[in-house]
Amino acid sequence: MSHTSPRVAVCMALAMSGLLLPTLPAQAQVFTQAQAEAGQKQYDGQCAMCHGAELLGPDAPALVGREVMDNFSTGAGLYEYFSVAMPPQAPGQLGSETYVNILAYILQRNGAQPGDTPLDADPDKLAAINLTEVTSVAAPVETAAAETEAAPSAVPQAFTWGKKLPSILPEATPEPAAPAVPQAFTWGKTLPTKS
Amino acid sequence: MTKNYLKTALALAVSLTTLVGVANAQSVRENYAPVTNDMVLNPPATEWLSWRRTIDNQGYSPLDKINKDTVKDLELAWAWPMADVGIQETAPLMHDGVLFLQTNNNIVQALDAKTGDLIWEFRPALAKIPAEWGYQLYQSRRQKNSIALYEDTVVLTTVDARIIVLGAKDGKVLREVQAFDVNKGYSYTVGPIVVNNTIISAISGCSISGTAGGCYIVAHDFETLEEKWRFNTIDDPNNPEQQASWGDVPPENRWGGTPWATGSYDPETNTTYWGVGMPAPYAELIRGSEDGNVLYTNSTLALDATTGELKWYYQHLPRDNWDLDSPFERVLVDVKEGDETKKLLISVPGKNGIFFALDRETGKYLWSQETVVQNVVTSIDESGKVNLNEELIMTALGESPLVCTSVSGGKLWQAGAYSPKTQQFYVPLTEACNTVEATQSEFTAGNATGAMKFGPRVLPEGITEAGLVDAIKVGTTKSEGEGWKARQRASMTSSLLATAGGLVIGGDAGRYVKAWDDTTGEVLWQQRLNAPIGGSPMTYELDGEQYLVVPTGFSAAAGSIAAAFPEIPLPSGTGNSIFVFKLPKQ
């Protein structure tokens, strides 16, 4: 190996340690900016009247939030639902390109970063998108109006929160962070896996 | 000269009309007769004093001017816009010439029941909750039968967990109490029963993270608003069996058990009956309760109305793993069999659409009957023990069984109606299934603890019509070959109303209000309106004329199954309104 300049060596070390930002791992950039922009227009026209301009409802459920990302869990989970059922005035009728664009926009609103790789409707590719991983939504801040009582500082969790559960999913479920709030009874426990 | 005279005459006529309008509203306001306790127990035939007219929850009117022969002649008398948007679940009440309406965000209006003119409007200042608390915000914009009438007041339960007593004449606040802590997530969805100077209510919001450990039916003194008793549906220290049914899960990791349909009351035994909803997290895989039945979720509770003590309970769906919530209307019915009067409690209590008849004095299971397609309950023993299809119980993340009925029903909050004339219970239903998948997710403030992903609602295999009205013959035993079923493409979206005129009235996602013949199920009348029919249609009589009130508006239930009838598009606006019909004057 030829002698590497100290500067290059430092950069290589930093890159390997993952500290050299802002390059994200390729698998975290799953849609293009063009798709998200088209998706915003389509969302505003087809979805915002119920789900809100800020995707926070309230006439229909919120589409932004950690809970939403965790609950639908993969791109396929979200896509399979709304590409069939939504919007109520034309369910499943918008065409896959529009649904893909809207999915890109929802991901972006949840903090996911755009990249060069376009999102497409392929079920396997959508299933490989882990919504929690690609988005970077922080746990919502517990703000309360000044005139109301102070909100509790810890959020109660399911009994199984923090416990490893059995899973048949292709990827291992992420190691849960040390819970700051009461969790589900089974959180962190190893539960049976479907074989 | 003539021109001036005409102008003056016209001006005079207009001002006189205005005065008459105001004077009428004024006199209605001033002469409002108090709703006595006797009236609550036995309302005048011409009035509609509580959610289902009577506090046995039957949803039946003895009025018959609008009947099988005349219903086709119904004309629109007037219409009125709801004061706010949101899911249309209103249940109008009528007493002494005043129609009381409540809408989302706890707006209450008093209208002249003859003309629809506004008498007063009350808009509370509600506690602000953060925009990120999406689930709490979403659930709170769906106020149902949030008001009750008692003496000269309107008793309102609010999304910020208060009970407010308003003057019926002017809508002004007389007194109020903060019944539960809204910052934890508690929020009223339904209104109370008020009887014997007691307000009996049940709180909601119990699948929101901060409410862990308790969901309650509660009683307050009507005058002082002091809390008299409360009953916790998921933590009963007096019952070791209840505690054991959650396995190792302590109260601080238990959610759900929400009683989100207004209960009923039997004055003979001073018993109040309430339905309890599902446990959360929905799947035992996440919940941690293993094979425990998780009492008192999905049960009927019979409570002493004075002390709040539990007389009996019956669990309609033990060990729920699919959010097949079972809190819906518990209806009290007396049937004569030979010389005996049998006291029953009937219900389609849960989303899975199974009808139950219980002995309401003992809680003993009598019989049951399926309505829509469901695949979770395999059988119910004669003892009343409910047996489940264990193959549908998820044991690992990633499993996603297809479950019927869907999380949107089957049956939902839209109430059935019982006719003592036909001795039949008429139920509005939707055929639907969905996949479910347990998710292991961190709970956040103001958001839900269901921890489950639902697939789109789809029709069950072999079914092409989403809507069903099922007429079930009621007795102490199941009747074979009686009753009827009316099927249609669009799903049912409102409560049903049964009348002595022989009609069953309600409506659907296709914007049709319909009147079915209560004996044959034939559609005798229909009218297309501006939006899916919603809330609880009702009827009253004033000055010898019978009125039919039909709420319309945004229907989340319709939206969720709209893919099953794509040829009937839903409107993208809300259109929340009431339409009031009557017969032409003779």
Residue B187's DSSP bridge partners are: B204
Chain A interface test: which of B440, B493, B560, B565 (most A C-beta within 10 Å): B440
Which CATH fold topology does B35-582 show? Methanol Dehydrogenase; Chain A (2.140.10)
Q: What distance lies between CA A144 and its chain's CA centroid?
A: 25
Domain boundaries, chain A: 29-134, 155-168+175-195
Question: Which structure tokens are listed for B31?
Answer: 């002469």
Q: Give pLDDT tens digits for B139-197.
A: 777 777 899 999 999 999 999 999 999 999 999 999 999 999 999 999 999 999 999 99
pLDDT score recorded for residue A140: 42
Q: Smallest Cβ distance to B396: which of A150, A181, A194? A: A194
The Cα–Cα gap between B586 and B555 comes to 37
**Contact yes or no for A190/A165 (Cβ under 8 A):** yes
Bigger pLDDT: A1 vs A118: A118
d(C-alpha B550, C-alpha B109), whole Å? 16
- Interface residue B453 vs chain A (CB under 8 A): yes
Contacts of A148 in chain B (CB under 8 A): 127-128, 182-183
Nearest Cα neighbor of B157 from B144, B174, B170 is B144
How far is B134 from B72, CA to CA, in rounded Å? 44
Give the CATH H-level superfamily of domain A29-134. Answer: Cytochrome c-like domain (1.10.760.10)
Let me know if B294 is exposed, middle or buried by CB neighbors in 10 A (0-12, 13-18, 19+). buried
Judging contacts by C-beta atoms under 8 Å, the chain B residues touching residue A71 are: 439, 441, 450-453
Give, for all 586 residues of chain B, the pLDDT tens digit.
455 656 655 555 444 444 444 445 565 667 899 999 999 999 999 999 999 999 999 999 999 999 999 999 999 999 999 998 889 999 999 999 999 999 888 999 999 999 999 999 999 999 988 888 888 888 777 777 899 999 999 999 999 999 999 999 999 999 999 999 999 999 999 999 999 999 999 999 999 999 999 999 999 999 999 999 999 999 999 999 999 999 999 999 999 999 999 999 999 999 999 999 999 999 999 999 999 999 999 999 999 999 999 999 999 999 999 999 999 999 999 999 989 999 999 999 999 999 999 999 999 999 999 999 999 999 999 999 999 999 999 999 999 999 999 999 999 999 999 999 999 999 999 999 999 999 998 898 888 999 999 999 999 999 999 999 999 999 999 998 899 999 999 999 999 999 999 999 999 999 999 999 999 999 999 999 999 999 999 999 999 999 999 999 999 889 999 999 999 989 988 899 999 999 998 7
Look at residue A170 and tell me whether its pLDDT is greater than 70.
yes
Say which residue the tokens 């307000």 belong to: B199
- Residues A59-116 have pLDDT tens digits of 888 999 888 898 898 999 999 999 999 999 899 999 999 999 999 999 999 999 999 9
Q: What is the pLDDT of residue A178?
A: 53
CB contact B87 to A (< 8 Å)? yes
Give which of B245, B286, B408, B554 to mutate to test A binding, by max A Cβ within 10 Å: B286
Residues of chain A found within 8 Å of residue B445, distances taken between Cβ atoms = 139-140, 142, 151-152, 155
Cα–Cα distance measured from residue B78 to residue B581, given in angstroms and rounded to the nearest whole number = 7
What amino acid occupies position B444? T
Contact A73 B453 (CB under 8 A): yes
Chain A touched by B138 (CB under 8 Å): yes
State yes or no: cis peptide before B532, omega within 30 of 0: no
List the single best residue of B439, B441, B508 to mutate versus A (max A Cβ within 10 A).
B441
Closest in B183, B253, B447 to A159, CB measured: B253
User: For the sheet containing B227-232, what is the strand order?
Assistant: B193-195, B198-202, B216-221, B227-232
* Contact across the interface for B138 and A60, Cβ inside 8 Å: yes
**Residue B447 or A43, more confident:** A43
Cβ–Cβ under 8 Å, residues B312 and B356: no
CB contact under 8 A, B441 and A62: no
**A180 → chain B, closest CA residue:** B442
* Distance of alpha carbon B549 from alpha carbon B395, whole angstroms: 48
DSSP B317-357: S-S-SS--------EEEEEEETTEEEEEEEE--STT--EEE
Q: What is the distance between the terminal CA atoms of chain B, rounded to a whole angstrom?
A: 41
Of A91, A142, A173, the CB nearest to B562: A91
Dist CA B560 CA B558 (whole Å): 5
Residue positions counted in chain B = 586
CA distance A165 to chain B (A): 7
Q: How far is A98 from chain B (nearest CA, A)?
A: 17
Using alpha carbons, select from B307, B315, B312, B305 the residue that is nearest to residue B264. Answer: B305
Q: Does the beta carbon of B401 lie under 8 angstroms from any beta carbon of chain A?
A: no
Domain ranges (residues) in chain B? 35-582
**CB distance A77 to A84 below 8 Å:** no
Could you tell me if B443 lies within 8 Å of chain A, comparing CB atoms?
yes
pLDDT exceeds cutoff 70 at A9: no
Whole-angstrom distance, CA of residue B357 vs CA of residue B333: 10
Name the closest residue on chain A to residue B84, using Cα atoms: A59
Interchain proximity A57–B289, CB inside 8 Å: no
- CB contact under 8 Å between A65 and B398, yes or no, is no
pLDDT above 90 for A143: no
In a 3-state reduction of DSSP, which class is residue A21?
A: coil
Could A87 and B135 be called an inter-chain contact, meaning their C-beta atoms sit closer than 8 Å? Answer: no
Closest CA to B313 of B271, B256, B352, B267: B271
B346 at interface of A, judged by CB pairs closer than 8 A: no
Using a CB-CB cut-off of 8 Å, the residues of chain B touching A145 are: 127-128
Confidence band, pLDDT 50/70/90 cuts, at residue A149: very low
- For A81, the closest of B449, B455, B569 (CB atoms) is B455
Bridge partners (DSSP) listed for residue B387: B379
Is B181 close to A151, i.e. CB distance below 8 A? Answer: no
- A171 to chain B: nearest residue by CA? B398
Candidates B137, B181, B253; nearest CB to A57: B137
Distance CA A143, CA A161 (A): 24
Confidence (pLDDT) at B57: 98
Could you tell me which of B75, B33, B62 has the C-alpha nearest to residue B539? B62
Q: What is the model's pTM?
A: 0.89
Chain A residues touching B281 at Cβ < 8 A = 158, 160, 184
Say which of B141, B395, B443 has its CB closest to residue A158.
B443
To the nearest whole Å, the CA of A33 is away from the closest chain B CA by 25
pLDDT at A11 over 50: no
Q: Which among B87, B181, B569 has the least Cβ separation from residue A89?
A: B569
Chain A CB contacts of B212 under 8 Å are: 156, 182
Residues 100 through 129 of chain B touching chain A, CB cutoff 8 Å: 127-129
- Chain B: give the shortest CA distance to residue A23, in Å: 27
Please tell me which of the candidates A49, A92, A156 has its beta carbon nearest to residue B572.
A49
> Which one of B249, B444, B454 has the shortest CB-CB distance to A65?
B444
At position A32, the amino acid (one-letter code) is T
B285 interfaces chain A, CB cutoff of 8 Å: yes
Do the beta carbons of residue B529 and residue B552 sit within 8 Å? yes
Is the model's pLDDT at A2 over the cut of 50? Answer: no
A-B Cβ pairs (cutoff 8 Å, strict): 247
Q: Is B402 on the interface with A (CB under 8 A)?
A: no
Q: Give the minimum alpha-carbon distance from B555 to chain A in angstroms, rounded to a whole number.
A: 10
Own/partner contacts of A70-73, CB < 8 Å, gap of 24 or more, are A70/A131, A70/A132, A70/B439, A70/B440, A70/B441, A70/B442, A71/B439, A71/B441, A71/B450, A71/B451, A71/B452, A71/B453, A72/A131, A72/B439, A72/B453, A73/A130, A73/A131, A73/A132, A73/B437, A73/B439, A73/B453
**Predicted confidence (pLDDT) at residue A5 exceeds the cutoff of 70:** no
Is residue B536 a contact partner of residue B51, using CB atoms and an 8 Å limit?
Answer: yes
- Measured between beta carbons, the chain A residues lying within 8 angstroms of B285 are 160, 165, 186, 191
> What's the whole-number mean pLDDT along residues A23-33?
71
Can you tell me whether residue B473 is helix, strand or coil? strand
How far apart CA B217 and CA B454 sit, in angstroms, is 29
